[in-house]
Amino acid sequence: MSTMTYREACKQAIRQCLLEEPRAFMMGEDIGDYGGCYGVTKGLLAEFGPGRIRDAPLAESGFVGAGVGAAMGGMRPIVEIMTCNFALLALDQLINNAATLRHMSGGKVGVPLVVRMATGGGRQLAAQHSHSFEGWFAHVPGLRILVPATVTDARHMLRTALREADPVLLFEHVFLYTMEGELDDTVKAVDIDKAAIRRPGKDLSILTSGNTVWKSLEAATALASDGIDVEVVDLRVLRPLDDETIMASVKKTHRVLVVDEGWRSGGISAELFARVCEQAFDELDAAPMRVCTAEVPIPYPKHLEDAALPQPATIAAAARQVLGRSGRMPRA
């Protein structure tokens, strides 16, 4: 085991991809001399040169479109969008082009494009830089949606994604960049199909991803002092969802809490509810609950931002509610 920051893990992932894959290059806003808005690409321009670390103009539709074209032409582009809020300016390229060309060409044309972007709140960057739109993109067939929560996933998911024949969107939570964590040196590749059990338990399943994995783990630790044994499922992949791992957890604990930094209305939390009810309804001992971001644009003041986002205390309180409204006695 070694220790590094999530930011450094992302940087080393990019570096490895550029070293191993001669067709790979990176393109995005301020990724060259500036080193990236979050410092992820610092030093890569000096190492790889402007041919492979390309600063793009502030025109997401343009440079994402260039990435789509490069991927169709046989390259392996890694495109960085500064924040997922700005990805909305490239929806036409991502959804009408990258996600559909395999289907519209009868399987003849793929778009092996990887798009990295920061997501989420907690850094007081206000509404236009702090939302979580990974659930929106998970609605779209043709895209694979990855949400690395750990240093090991941040280090290795990109390499696996770059080998995909179709577009992959990687959402890196802005709050995690400075987080230090253990990197498992024995891991050389990461499965981008499967969820991961970050904490096993028997009383309640928390289904979550990204930064709320860590908040859920903190809540689980607090609940353990009251004798409540929580299982934390890191979804990791929002499209396609790993139904097998999710349902296995539900069938073990018989109670579900979904924690999502996206909004409740029309969000990924609703999709998870539907799937659990469709596939494991008879296993439930209580109605599922969810903790989501308040239905407001993310506020700038810290006390309001904290109040809007899911927090360990609100997660723990919701977990107690699920357990308290159980319709029958806990199973052995």
Instruction: State the CATH number of the domain containing residue 275.
Output: 3.40.50.920
> Per the domain annotation, does 190 fall within a domain?
no
Compute the CA torsion angle 67, 70, 72, 74 (nearest 10 deg).
-140
- Catalytic annotation, pick one of 60, 80, 261, 271: 60
291: β partners: 259
Q: Is the domain of 14 the same as that of 159?
A: yes
Cβ(238)–Cβ(111) under 8 Å? no
Task: Say whether both 158 and 300 belong to one domain.
Answer: no
pLDDT band at 325 (very low <50, low <70, confident <90, very high): low
**82 lies in the same domain as 206:** no
Confidence of residue 189 (pLDDT cuts 50, 70, 90): confident
Does residue 43 belong to any structural domain of this protein?
yes
**Boundary-marking domain end, from 151, 183, 215:** 183
Shared domain check, 98 and 164: yes
Rounded Cα distance between 134 and 293, Å, is 14
176 and 265 housed in the same domain: no
CATH for 117: 3.40.50.970
Q: What is the mean pLDDT of the chain?
A: 95
User: Does the active-site annotation cover 295?
Assistant: no
220, two tokens: 């689980």
Let me know if residue 50 belongs to a domain.
yes
- For the segment 57-85, the average pLDDT, to the nearest whole number, is 97
What whole-number distance in Å separates Cα of residue 302 and Cα of residue 308? Answer: 10
Provide the 10 A C-beta neighbour count for residue 60: 24
Model confidence at 327: pLDDT above 50: no
Nearest to residue 150, comparing CAs of 236, 241, 259?
A: 236
Over the stretch 205-230, which tens digit does the pLDDT of each residue have? 999 999 999 999 999 999 999 999 99
Same domain, 240 and 179: no
- 35 and 171 belong to one structural domain: yes
What is the per-residue pLDDT across 27-43, written as a single tens digit (0 to 9) for each? 999 999 999 999 999 99
Instruction: Write out the residue range of the structural domain in which residue 70 sits.
Output: 2-183
Examine residue 188 and state whether it is found in any structural domain, yes or no.
no
In a domain, 161, yes or no: yes
Averaged pLDDT for residues 161-180: 97
pLDDT greater than 60 at residue 328: no
Q: Which is the catalytic residue, given 29, 80, 129, 173?
A: 129
Q: Is 129 an annotated catalytic residue?
A: yes
Rg (CA), the chain: 20
Structure tokens given for 187: 């891991």
The per-residue pLDDT for 332 is 46
Show which of 139, 158, 183 is a domain's final residue.
Answer: 183
Length, in residues, of the chain? 332
Residue 283 belongs to some domain of the structure:
yes
Residue 52 lies inside a defined structural domain of this protein: yes
Structurally, how many domains does the chain consist of? 2
205 and 303 share a domain?
yes
Residue whose token pair is 């028997």: 202
Q: Give the SS3 label for residue 24.
A: strand
Q: How many CB atoms lie within 10 A of CB 274?
A: 10
Domain end, chosen from 153, 183, 213, is at 183
User: Do 205 and 302 fall into the same domain?
Assistant: yes
124 & 246 share domain: no
Same domain, 21 and 153: yes
**Taking the model in full, what pTM does it have?**
0.95
Residue 329 belongs to some domain of the structure: no
Residue with tokens 């994995």: 213
Q: Is the same domain home to 62 and 170?
A: yes
